[in-house]
Chain A
Amino acid sequence: MGEPDDDAPVPLFGTWTRIYAAVLLNLLVMMALLLAFSRWPY
């Protein structure tokens, strides 16, 4: 498996683990917001 092995620091997030987690967390937050958006009693 291709583990990240670049020495250069990852912009903003510092590590690859953090940026991957941020992408997935961003998806979860987006889905939660979209659920609220679609079901909100306007």
Chain B
Amino acid sequence: MTGLDWAVLIVYLVAIVGFGIWIGRDTKQISDFFLAGREMRWWAAGLSVMATQISAITFVGTTGQAYTTGMSFLVVYFGLPIAMVVLCLTLVPFFYRSGVFTAYEYLEKRFDSRTRTLTSLLFLFSRGLAMGVTLYAPSLVLSVILGWSETTTILVMGGTTILYVVHGGNKSVIWTDVVQMLIIWIGIFMCAGVAIANLPETFSLRDSLAVAQITNHLEMMDVSADPAKPYTLWSGLIGGAFLAMAYFGADQSQVQRYLSARSLQESRLSLLFSGFLKVPMQFLILLTGVLVFVFYHFERPPLLWNAQAMHRLEREAPADAAAMNTALGSAHADRQAAAAEYARTRSPQAREAYVEAHGRLSSIHQQAGRRITELSGAKSYNDTNYIFPSYVISMLSGGLAGLVMAVIFAAAMSTLAGEFNSVATATMVDFYQRFVRSDASASHYLWMSRLFTALWGGFACLVALRAGQLGSAIEVVNRFGSYFYGSILGVFGLAILTPRASARGAFYGLIAGMATVYLVSRFTTIAFLWYNVVGAVTVFVVGLVITAAAPGPARPAAA
């Protein structure tokens, strides 16, 4: 990065922290701190919903995924608009009218306190640890790219976010999200534009898409009914809809965004905003990854995208590294010539030559990955997340690399800010006010809320700093969320769709749902997008059966 790039990144960090602290200066009580005084306009809450969802690793990970395997991941978002409409018709009015701070608070009104406590605990456990991953994953990549230590990267990213969230609460979160989301949008358009501009003059955008089509990089409409396939049209529409309903309807980090809107109408509009924009936004991000893939037909890609891993390979196995580099150079030259020939003629022979050269090049990358795995003693090697930042650093100039780094920071910080604020809310409202101090002053609650925010932020930094040693535990944490999100959604379904569902049915249904998802993930090959469907349906059915067997007192769904 040049001095101008560093200046852009530093100006972003200082400006966003300053703005976050300034905008939250009027926070006087916990309704301000947690729900921004319920005065947000729909577009601000809507941009905050989008900014909270798009994490840094979503940004760099999906571009990397598009580079390696193509755009099939886009189907994950096909169910999102459907989910937004369903949520606007069902959960959102119940949450908003009942005046709750947390989604789980509603479950006590409808069922009982233990269902609220269990769901809130599950949220705190999962989201608390997941915050560490949200912080660790981009820090790992950025530390290599920026040349910082992992500790410095984690502390800069986590520390700056803690500063403004502790000070201004949800108002600071939402308004900084608005700014960060605009920066992210600018970054997305800029990256797509630069990727197109960086293609050789003799190679048009049409040629690029034709080449990407050969390797199925543009394929995103797989209509296969195989439930083991991760990204099919059906898993995207059905599984993706349940995933989005669970995330936006049962995860406090999202519920809190739209509960901050000034009316039920604006709350709904904030969600529908994402319903309109999410698919095109993800399309642009993935398309950028595909264009970077085509760009590296004309610029020799590195053997390994992770520079640290590459140095290690060259240091510890220099002969292997040299041999593989030579083979890569040859395969790259052949692929480049074949791509140019295909662009010129579209002939089957050129296509065949391209497929052969591309296969050779991919196999050399895999070979290098296996070699570095042997040297490091790790279980596997995956450098997908390093592709896009490496491209940015090596190919963008004039402050643009600094701007894209700022975009990655913005994506990480906007997600973290929402997470810090939401776990502090659940801790205060679902536990502290119920079990520790129920009669304290507004000022006491505000300062305790700030303390919880700081503690959770510190905990996230600690998890991130230790994540390298936790290894497979991180994977367990990531999986854990998928075990219960759908199940919690099932409990909310029971709460509002079946007036007779009992508290006992909801509680044991939730446990049965989580157990079923665990068994499905452990003993079948069903793809993860279906887990939320399995969890939600199981809770609903088991909850109804238990209610029928042992009916409890009927409680109204509305607050």
Contact = CB atoms under 8 A, between A and B. Distances in A.
**A, B assembled together:** yes
Interface of A: 1-6, 8, 10-11, 16, 19-20, 22-24, 26-27, 30-31, 34-35, 37-40, 42
B220 interface: yes
Contacts of B206: 42
A8 B279 CA distance: 28
24 contacts: A1-B90, A1-B496, A2-B90, A2-B92, A2-B93, A2-B94, A2-B97, A3-B93, A10-B265, A16-B268, A19-B272, A23-B85, A24-B82, A27-B78, A27-B275, A27-B279, A30-B279, A30-B283, A34-B220, A34-B221, A35-B221, A37-B218, A39-B221, A42-B206
A4 B269 CA distance: 12
**A interface SS class:** helix
Contacts of A37: 218
B148 interface: no
Contacts of A5: 93
A30 B90 CA distance: 25
B276 A23 contact: yes
B44 to A, nearest CB: 14
A23 B269 CA distance: 11
Interface string B89-100: 111111001000
Given A34-B74, A34-B283, A38-B218, A26 B81 contact: yes
Contacts of A1: 89-90, 496-497
B157 interface: no
Contact of A42 (B94, B209, B283): B209
A10 B268 CA distance: 10
Nearest to A31: B78
Given A2-B90, A2-B558, 14 more contacts: A1-B496, A2-B91, A4-B88, A4-B93, A19-B269, A20-B88, A20-B89, A23-B276, A27-B81, A34-B283, A38-B71, A40-B209, A42-B207, A42-B210
A42 B78 contact: no
B468 interface: no
B218 A8 contact: no
Contacts of B265: 4, 6, 8, 10
A17 to B, nearest CB: 11
**B interface SS class:** helix
The 5 closest A-B pairs by CB, nearest first: A2-B93, A42-B210, A6-B265, A23-B275, A27-B81
Contacts of B74: 34
Interface of B: 71, 74, 78, 81-82, 84-85, 88-94, 97, 206-207, 209-210, 213, 218-221, 263-265, 268-269, 272, 275-276, 279-280, 283, 496-497, 558
A32 B219 CA distance: 13
A21 B300 CA distance: 48
Contacts of A11: 269
B221 A38 contact: yes
A26 B221 contact: no
A13 B206 CA distance: 36
Contacts of B209: 40, 42
B85 A24 contact: yes
Nearest to A6: B265
A31 B233 CA distance: 10
Contacts of B283: 30, 34
A2 B219 contact: no
A31 to B, nearest CB: 7
Given A1-B90, A26-B276, A27-B279, A8 B263 contact: yes
B89 A2 contact: yes
Nearest to B212: A42
A6 B548 CA distance: 36
Contacts of B263: 6, 8
